[in-house]
Amino acid sequence: MIGDFWVHPSLILILGALLLPLVPARLKRGWLLLVPLLVFARIWTMSKGDFGAVFFLDWVLTFGRVDALSHVFGYIMGLMCVVATLYGLHVKEDAQHIAAWVYVAGSLGVIYAGDLLTLFVFWELMALSSVFLIWFRRRPQSLGAGFRYLLVHLTGGVALLAGIILHSQATGGNLAFTTFDVAHPTPAAWLILIGFILNAAVPPLHAWLPDAYGEATFNGSIFLCAFTTKTAVYALCRGFPGMEILVPLGVAMALYGVVYAVLENDCRRLLAYHIISQVGYMVAGVGLGTQMAINGACAHAFAHILYKGLLFMGCGAVLHMTGESKFTALGGLWKKMPWTFVFTLIGGLSISAFPLFSGFVSKSMIVAAGFEQHRLWVGFLLMLASVGTFLHTGLKVPYFIWFGKSHCQPETWERAKEPPWNMTAAMVIASVLCIFIGCYTPYLYQLLPDPQAAQAFHPYTSYHLSETLQLLLFTAVGFFLLLKKLEPTPTISLDLDSFYRTGGRAFLWLARKPVPFVDNCVGEIYRALGLVPLMLTSRLVGVFDNRVIDGVVDGFASTIRGVGSRLRAAQRGSVQENLTLVFAVGILLILALLYLF
């Protein structure tokens, strides 16, 4: 706090982004490093409590709720902002950095929001800024992917807003973002939940994720993979811990991502499907709702941001250097990019929860929470998803990019080399952190919402080590035995986005074919049934008008003329003479009447 004014980390980022175009070119790299470091330092030094209360209309908006839950998410997001900006340091276009920073500012705004209205504003800011990270790829298909991403997120935003309005009405204007009644959720809570799980990419609301993340810029994906889904996980942890439906949904998404990853030919889309899979663990953890499960969800989100960032950095480096991200256009790159291979492998081992890597100390908490509640199906199915994770991210990605048969075009092979120093440095930092978290558990466990319960959890037991090593290494045996089946093919896999993608095409077809047809038919019917009788009637009316009306009028006129000419003949002299005659006749008539009666 500076005086009474609480400096929101998002404010630093937004100001930094706005000033970026004004910074001289030679200082730009320094600025790009300084601003995220300042943000991270600000997050690090923030004391706990409620800050930044603003009175707006009838509401009190809280911009800064700092507690254990928001701190752990804010901390890792601040850290990732530093690493991801470093990774894209050499990108010359200011707008790309501005979009990324505003996006991070949106995420941090959501994390520290104490009320639902503030949350909603930052929630939309995230969607509106992150879409530029897709559009800046500037491929013809990027535009469509960006619009689809935006439309899906704005739809989710509408559900969220509707929920917030209903919730506000039901609570008499209380917008505080606290835990909802998960045992008896109101329609408002359901709508808010839909808004949250859409951002968490829970099937069937998930297809935007691989569609967008596979199409983003090489460095935009690093931001995308870290912030949107994890902000949603935070919101679920805060609002819906123990919500039963999240357990089956989480387990289903953990497996769903794995199945699609088998079929995927694009390495970044494969990683995107594994985000769905990994977020599935977190969603299931939130659904389990115990102390250990919530700790596990937060720990896994923390570890995930780093290792998934690292994996996207590895594949992003391959894309940036070679221009290719498809397995059918890569292979055998170990000679050209061996260090990138090592970093990606570290990411792969971390996501697979290999001992001494970060996933080992985080994922196991959620699985253990499932087993502890005696929900064996949760535990075993999540273990099965772990098999799939190692199969793809630990084995398939490194094997088909750096080993296997080379499918590289000569120019791809020529272009391939280790990435610039800043990209390598970002990968080194992420790799070191992945290993550090895996080896020194107190670092992560102290940050969790319930540090005492977390410290009591010991991942490095002989049983857990033996279990994990067996599971993963025998997966590797299966991988090499079934290698032929996994050979990449130049295909895409239809997901639920095809409903709205082909739905859009169906709409265009509708507009081009049946709508004009119906329009023609209606025109024809109108002509046949409306216009023709109308003309006929008007012709009859014309005849009637000519013959009858005109005849009558003409008849009247000639009659009046005849009567007139007769009257003219009756007129004999001056007016006085006539009047005298009329009066005389009148008087005579009156006298005759008087005499008679």
Partner 1 sequence: MKLARLIEFLRNRLKTVVRVCLALLALLVLLDAIPGLVDKEPAHTTAEHFPGFWSLFGFIGCGVLIIVSKWFGHAGIMQREDYYDR
The first and second tokens of residue 96, run together, are 């790309």
Q: Which residue in the set 28, 29, 415, 501 belongs to the binding site for partner 1 (CB under 8 A)?
A: 501
Place of tokens 């991210």: 393
Q: Which residue in the set 463, 568, 571, 593 belongs to the binding site for partner 1 (CB under 8 A)?
A: 463
Q: Which residue in the set 391, 426, 430, 454 belongs to the binding site for partner 1 (CB under 8 A)?
A: 391
Task: Please identify, using beta-carbon distances, which residue of 411 and 487 lies nearer to partner 1.
Answer: 487
Of 177-185, 278-286, 317-325, 477-485, the window that binds partner 1 (rule: CB under 8 A) is: 477-485
Total interface residues for partner 1 by CB under 8 A: 48
**Minimum distance from CB of 371 to partner 1 (Å)?**
5
What mask, x for binding partner 1 by CB under 8 A, covers residues 126 to 165? ----------------------------------------
The span from the first CA to the last CA of the chain, in angstroms, equals 121
Q: Which residue in the set 92, 138, 184, 485 belongs to the binding site for partner 1 (CB under 8 A)?
A: 485
384 binds partner 1, rule: CB under 8 A: yes
453 binds partner 1, rule: CB under 8 A: no
- Provide the residue type at 342 as one letter: V
- Distance CA(133)–CA(106), nearest Å, equals 14
- Distance CA(107)–CA(78), nearest Å, equals 10
User: What are residue 405's phi and psi, to 5 degrees?
Assistant: -80, 135
469 binds partner 1, rule: CB under 8 A: yes
The number of residues making up the chain comes to: 597
**Minimum distance from CB of 277 to partner 1 (Å)?**
11
Task: Please identify, using beta-carbon distances, which residue of 258 and 349 lies nearer to partner 1.
Answer: 258
Q: Which residue in the set 179, 461, 558, 559 belongs to the binding site for partner 1 (CB under 8 A)?
A: 461
Of 130-138, 198-206, 229-237, 468-476, the window that binds partner 1 (rule: CB under 8 A) is: 468-476
- Provide the residue type at 95 as one letter: A
490 binds partner 1, rule: CB under 8 A: yes
Of 202, 247, 281, 233, which is closest to residue 73 (Cα–Cα)? 233
512 binds partner 1, rule: CB under 8 A: no
Q: Which residue in the set 27, 54, 176, 482 belongs to the binding site for partner 1 (CB under 8 A)?
A: 482
HSE (side-chain half, CA atoms, 13 Å) at 260: 28
**Minimum distance from CB of 208 to partner 1 (Å)?**
15
- Distance CA(143)–CA(151), nearest Å, equals 12
Of 76, 495, 81, 544, which is closest to residue 304 (Cα–Cα)? 76
- Provide the residue type at 278 as one letter: Q
**Minimum distance from CB of 113 to partner 1 (Å)?**
37
**Minimum distance from CB of 239 to partner 1 (Å)?**
30
Task: Please identify, using beta-carbon distances, which residue of 507 and 526 lies nearer to partner 1.
Answer: 507
User: What are residue 96's phi and psi, to 5 degrees?
Assistant: -65, -45
Q: Which residue in the set 57, 477, 569, 593 belongs to the binding site for partner 1 (CB under 8 A)?
A: 477
387 binds partner 1, rule: CB under 8 A: yes
**Minimum distance from CB of 192 to partner 1 (Å)?**
32
**Minimum distance from CB of 91 to partner 1 (Å)?**
26
Q: Which residue in the set 194, 207, 429, 472 belongs to the binding site for partner 1 (CB under 8 A)?
A: 472
SS3 call for 394: helix
595 binds partner 1, rule: CB under 8 A: no
**Minimum distance from CB of 418 to partner 1 (Å)?**
9
Task: Please identify, using beta-carbon distances, which residue of 116 and 284 lies nearer to partner 1.
Answer: 284
- Site residues for partner 1, 322-381, by CB under 8 A, read 334-335, 338-339, 342, 371, 374, 376, 379
Which DSSP string do the residues of 435-469 spell out, in sequence order?
HHHHH-HHHHHTTSSSHHHHHT-----HHHHHHHH
Of 163-171, 200-208, 221-229, 471-479, the window that binds partner 1 (rule: CB under 8 A) is: 471-479
What mask, x for binding partner 1 by CB under 8 A, covers residues 233 to 272? -------------------------xxx-xx---------
Task: Please identify, using beta-carbon distances, which residue of 137 and 464 lies nearer to partner 1.
Answer: 464
Residues 6 or more apart whose CB falls under 8 angstroms from that of 568 comprise none
- Distance CA(449)–CA(296), nearest Å, equals 10
Which DSSP string do the residues of 124-180 spell out, in sequence order?
HHHHHHHHHHHHTT--HHHHHHHHHHHHHHHHHHHHHHHHHHHHHHHTTS--B----
The first and second tokens of residue 123, run together, are 């929630």
The first and second tokens of residue 291, run together, are 């102390």
- Distance CA(39)–CA(105), nearest Å, equals 10
- Distance CA(487)–CA(252), nearest Å, equals 26
Q: Which residue in the set 388, 398, 419, 488 belongs to the binding site for partner 1 (CB under 8 A)?
A: 388
**Minimum distance from CB of 480 to partner 1 (Å)?**
9
DSSP assigned state of 324: -
Using CA of residue 87, residue 90, residue 95, residue 98, what is the dihedral sign?
positive
Task: Please identify, using beta-carbon distances, which residue of 124 and 467 lies nearer to partner 1.
Answer: 467
Of 187-195, 384-392, 543-551, 555-563, the window that binds partner 1 (rule: CB under 8 A) is: 384-392
Helix axis angle, 421-439 to 291-322, nearest 10°: 160
488 binds partner 1, rule: CB under 8 A: no
Q: Are 132 and 126 in contact (CB under 8 A)?
A: no
Q: Which residue in the set 474, 507, 509, 556 belongs to the binding site for partner 1 (CB under 8 A)?
A: 474
- Distance CA(41)–CA(48), nearest Å, equals 15
Residue 144 burial (CB count, 10 A): 15
Of 408-416, 449-457, 460-468, 575-583, the window that binds partner 1 (rule: CB under 8 A) is: 460-468
**Minimum distance from CB of 501 to partner 1 (Å)?**
6
Q: Which residue in the set 28, 29, 415, 464 belongs to the binding site for partner 1 (CB under 8 A)?
A: 464
Place of tokens 């603003």: 54
- Distance CA(52)–CA(112), nearest Å, equals 10
Place of tokens 């949106």: 106
- Chain residues that interact with partner 1, rule: CB under 8 A: 258-260, 262-263, 334-335, 338-339, 342, 371, 374, 376, 379, 383-384, 387-388, 391, 461-464, 466-475, 477-479, 482, 485-486, 489-494, 498, 501-502
